[in-house]
Structure 1
Amino acid sequence: MWLYLVGLVGLYYLLRWYRERQVVSNLQDKYVFITGCSSGFGNLLARQLDQRGFRVLASCRSELQAERLRDQTSGRLETVILDVTQTESITAATQWVKEHVGNRGLWGLVNNAGISVPTAPNEWLTKQDFAKILNVNLLGVIEVTLNLLPLVRKAKGRVVNISSIAGRVSLCGGGYSISKYGIEAFSDSLRRELSSFGVKVSVIEPGFFKTGMTSNDTFSRSILEVWNQVCPEVKKAYGEEFLVSYLKDVEMSFKRSSTSLSSVTDCIEHTLTACHPRSRYSVGWDAKFFFLPLSYMPTVLVDTMMYLSSPRPAKAL
């Protein structure tokens, strides 16, 4: 009995391996638009796809960042300035993409642009702190996608949304996990709606990685700025010792973070080159062997594990 079960599992993975090795043709004729190419995953992906032969359309936040990227790539890669929180900027970028792709359509849309701060215990934050992240990580993704979908549909292409393992397990307060849960839901509905048109939608769920957006210094400074604005009553409830412990937990998380950004960009490349990309890619050992299994555990067990590993507010002691 067990032997048959092992055989079936082995056959499943063999067939999946074979399907995922089939590559689409004429990559040099396919356009891919990537948001957030100033640094991190987006910057590496733009250079990686350019080397692979794609016609990369990369968006950056400033002309200086765009110029640096162009200096590192071939003449095929072109850049545009884009602020995903501004409708006018998205509209202008959409028109720019239309002029470049023409009748071929857009093979790939990679929604990579994102921010991660301010992140802190929910009670320390304001509505504006939540909105700042949601406007970029969720509403910006939605608006960019809605504007470019006709071009993706024309090419029967791919939409790739960068989520996080924090879209599976809420690891911190603030808008970051909320935005990533939203990306998961948006991607699911989009995948089902667009399957009839031959468009494939994939979600990338990285674990902890060190990028320009996610660094210990960035998080620590943001947490201290938020703490300094917290009202005295809340400060008294949490206490200075909680703040110190919270900062230490953040530091330890980044010490365990991976520096191998290529493991993420390789998955994104696979979604754009494979005939049969996956719907989801969990990337990183922490994502695959801890957070992903954790997301399927009973809520009471997850809550207990999180409680035991978190610092205690002063008034809870």
Structure 2
Amino acid sequence: MSDKNASVSAYRSPAPLLARQLRGILREFIMSLSLIDFIAYSAVIFTAFVIIRYFIELLQISNLKRRAVFITGCDTGFGHDLAIRCLQHGMPVFAGCLTVKGSENLEKVSKLLSGKLRVIIMDVTKKEDILKARKILEDECPQYGGLHGLVNNAGITSKEAYDDFLTLEDYKKVADVNTWGVIQVTHELKHLVKKTKGRIVTVASICARVVLPSNGPYNVAKHAVAAYCDTIRQELRLFGVSVHILEPGFFKTPLIDFPKMRAEMSKGWTDAPKHVREEYGEEFYKKSEELSLDFLQTVSSDRIDYVIDAYFHALTAVFPRPRYQVGWDSILLFIPFSLIPTPIQDLVYKVAALRLPKPAACR
């Protein structure tokens, strides 16, 4: 072996030794702490993290007037208000609306705002509508430097009923919009977002973390769309595209229409097969209907601006979050509940079910 090779093999970087020494010092420090000291230090570190993150998240990307976004479901609710928020900041907005009435309402409001609005009438369940939107975006986005953000906002709620009162069509109807609609739109438009190394923002739900009885189709669809977004977040990272999920709790949007929900629940009872009605009994069905609606009325918030803030942050922040838990019910109730062991969750559901009468067949 030459002297040169010998000298190279003999050389060892001091980094591993230094790392071991630091680990040893840190271990000794932690072991010397009392429980109270450990809690105090942990609280200080956590507080520092929250404060630092707060200020970092205030940083906003520049030149919003050239950050074009496409938002689905802009007729009412979150999509409508997000489109207005973006227009207020001068952003070019391509707004997908299901109805002409919805598009006209949005256009009327947008006339006094600085951003440029382009409405596209589309149904996210129809391939031809999505392809039409794709063509418009391919033709018009280059003037803004491309498509900065895709927002999958369009969604519907499901029939509130136990699974025995539902059909496969009830599940398909919700999944067509809340899951397959998101996937179809993303498939057709993500090439535009790749070009700008932009962002894809999708609304899931707290129901992607915690299931609610009587809400099967919605629970299933939101779990699926959250899993899809988690998957493409890892895949599109290779292209510089970031993917973000919103997990709002319950908010008083036009989707939560209590008179309509009561009517659908009543229809669910009359449409159910005779053997199902006999198995559960009308007393059980009506009480479960009452408890479901009471729960929604209790936890639903009218602070829709919380969701719009999260959407806008995901689109415009220098350091957006991968996930946004939105609403106090989401942050303080559902997220903590999702983290506890399944047997304890089941116990909570069991206790909550004590308010229900037994199904007729179980008495």
Q: TM-score, normalised by structure 2?
A: 0.84
Q: Distance in 2 between matches of 1:135 and 1:46?
A: 23
Cα distance, 1:251 vs. partner?
2.3
2:340 is matched with: 297
1:248 is matched with: 290
SS across alignment from 2:110 = coil
Q: Indicate whether 1:316 and 2:332 are aligned.
A: no
1:171 is matched with: 212
Range with bigger deviation, 131-140 or 2-11: 2-11
Which of 45, 55, 64 aligns to 1:8? It is: 45
The gaps in structure 2 that reach 5 residues or longer are 1-37
The gaps in structure 1 that reach 5 residues or longer are none
* Aligned partners of 1:117 and 1:222 also within 8 Å: no
Cα distance, 1:196 vs. partner?
2.2
Q: Distance in 1 between matches of 2:53 and 2:312?
A: 17
Q: Distance in 2 between matches of 1:316 and 1:93?
A: 53
* Aligned partners of 1:210 and 1:254 also within 8 Å: no
Which of 187, 190, 199 aligns to 1:146? It is: 187
2:100 is matched with: 63
Cα distance, 1:63 vs. partner?
1.5
Which of 94, 100, 105 aligns to 2:146? It is: 105
Cα RMSD after superposing both structures:
1.4
| Partner AA of 2:331 in structure 1 | K
Which of 74, 81, 90 aligns to 2:121? It is: 81
Q: Distance in 2 between matches of 1:46 and 1:250?
A: 31
Which of 53, 68, 72 aligns to 2:109? It is: 72
Cα distance, 1:164 vs. partner?
0.6
Cα distance, 1:135 vs. partner?
0.5
Q: Distance in 1 between matches of 2:193 and 2:120?
A: 18
* Aligned partners of 1:216 and 1:254 also within 8 Å: no
Cα distance, 1:65 vs. partner?
1.3
SS across alignment from 1:150 = helix
Q: Distance in 2 between matches of 1:91 and 1:54?
A: 23
Identity of aligned residues (%): 37
Q: Distance in 2 between matches of 1:242 and 1:160?
A: 40
Which of 168, 190, 207 aligns to 2:232? It is: 190
Cα distance, 1:131 vs. partner?
0.3
* Aligned partners of 1:163 and 1:206 also within 8 Å: yes
* Aligned partners of 2:246 and 2:310 also within 8 Å: yes
* Aligned partners of 1:219 and 1:250 also within 8 Å: no
| Partner AA of 1:314 in structure 2 | A
Q: Indicate whether 1:158 and 2:204 are aligned.
A: no
Q: Distance in 2 between matches of 1:144 and 1:252?
A: 35
1:96 is matched with: 136
1:207 is matched with: 249
SS across alignment from 1:182 = helix
* Aligned partners of 1:37 and 1:60 also within 8 Å: yes
SS across alignment from 1:107 = strand
| Partner AA of 2:97 in structure 1 | C
Q: Distance in 2 between matches of 1:101 and 1:131?
A: 33
| Partner AA of 2:362 in structure 1 | A
Q: TM-score, normalised by structure 1?
A: 0.96
- Mapping for residues 111-126 of structure 1, pairs under 5 Å: 111-126=152-167
Q: Distance in 1 between matches of 2:178 and 2:234?
A: 21
Q: Distance in 2 between matches of 1:72 and 1:316?
A: 55
Q: How many positions carry a matched residue from both structures?
A: 317
Cα distance, 1:290 vs. partner?
0.7
